Amino acid sequence: MSSNRIRILLVVLFLIALGTLPFWASRYMVVIFLLMCLHTALASMWNLLAGYSGLISLGQQMFIGIGGYSLAVLSMYHGIPIFLSVLLGGVISLFLAVIISVPVFRMKGVYFAIGTWIIAEALGICFSNWGYVRYGMGLFIQPAYKLPISTIYYAALVICVGSVFITYLLLRSNLGLALMAIRDDDVASEAIGVNIFRCKFTCFLLSAFITGVTAGVLYLNTIFIQPFEAFGIGWTVKLLFIVIIGGLGTVVGPIVGSAVFVMLQQYLSEYVGFNLILLGIITILVIFFTPKGIVGTFQEKLGFEILPIRRQ
């Protein structure tokens, strides 16, 4: 059981460090960790779809846009308390996911990828032609001006830890077992009574809800929302990069991936124009040489997982 104890110790130490961060770190550090937390949550949700459910979505940005716009509209136009608006953003994303699941679950593989992308693009066009949200000019989320950075950081931390542990628990539940059975052999798993549609549908809804809530917190920090940025494919590019670098289909992968991504982004921001080129090159190189990502490769070499999803 010693490896189990090390595991718990590592996780607890990590959480204590993160939980006390605003008390000892500089504001810059807090912002960096805030970004890492948000990207981890978003990437975990994309990973849940792509890495475990076999649903490669190129349309996660639709929930980011909906979450962000819900926050802006509800808190500014309707005076709803700001964190309630963030939660409602998740609920609205959930509704959107239920509605679009009718068409997108008829699509398989690459059609699913394209279908989700086109829905996100269509929503972007709708929002940029909608006077209520000031067309393509975007909205400044005024109620978020007064929030101290540490409040936003704790919100992000809660979402980050929450999303990672929900993924972890979900994958260790019967649903996770069913998902792995589907991934390994969908015909055989259906024959022994796994309801493929329900498993994938659950993951899709969960990912929509958490992505919507995370987007709300993200826009508390950004303060400004604009349709082509919010509904842009750029979000999925980032998530894809994070998950590939970290390790597709591992629980810890998105955490490591978003740490690497945020650091790279900070470091490369001096070289405007080159940073995205480099991200593209790194993605291709990782797929060629370490297709399992950083975490996957380490797990294979050391035989040690920090958050194992297999039952012992």
Contacts with other proteins by CB under 8 A lie at 50, 56, 102-103, 106-111, 113-115, 117-119, 121-122, 125-126, 128-129, 233, 237, 240, 244, 248, 273-274, 276-277, 279-281, 283-284, 287-288, 291
Q: Least separation, in Å, of the C-beta of 109 and other proteins?
A: 6
How far, in Å, are 23, 67, 113, 196, 257 from residue 105 at the CA level? 46, 22, 11, 11, 29
Nearer to other proteins, 19 or 103 (CB): 103
Instruction: Judge whether 144 and 223 are in contact, CB under 8 Å.
Output: yes
Q: What is the dihedral of CA 281, 286, 287, 289, to 10 degrees?
A: 120
Nearer to other proteins, 81 or 280 (CB): 280
Q: What are phi and psi of 106, to 5 degrees?
A: -85, -15
Q: Least separation, in Å, of the C-beta of 22 and other proteins?
A: 34
Long-range contacts of 234-240 (CB under 8 A, 24+ apart): 234/61, 235/42, 235/60, 235/61, 235/64, 236/46, 236/57, 236/58, 236/59, 236/60, 236/61, 236/117, 237/279, 238/39, 239/39, 239/42, 239/43, 239/46, 239/60, 240/46, 240/283
Q: Least separation, in Å, of the C-beta of 247 and other proteins?
A: 13
Q: What is the CA radius of gyration of the chain?
A: 19
Q: Least separation, in Å, of the C-beta of 211 and other proteins?
A: 19
DSSP conformational letter for 20 = T
Nearer to other proteins, 117 or 219 (CB): 117
Q: Least separation, in Å, of the C-beta of 38 and other proteins?
A: 21
Nearer to other proteins, 19 or 280 (CB): 280
Instruction: Name the residue with tokens 């779809």.
Output: 49
Q: Least separation, in Å, of the C-beta of 95 and other proteins?
A: 18
Q: Least separation, in Å, of the C-beta of 145 and other proteins?
A: 30
Nearer to other proteins, 39 or 154 (CB): 39
DSSP conformational letter for 49 = I
Q: Least separation, in Å, of the C-beta of 64 and other proteins?
A: 17
Instruction: Go through the chain and tell me how many residues it has.
Output: 312
Instruction: Judge whether 196 and 21 are in contact, CB under 8 Å.
Output: no
Exposed, middle or buried, 200 (CB in 10 Å: 0-12/13-18/19+)? buried
Nearer to other proteins, 121 or 213 (CB): 121
Nearer to other proteins, 188 or 281 (CB): 281
Nearer to other proteins, 22 or 249 (CB): 249
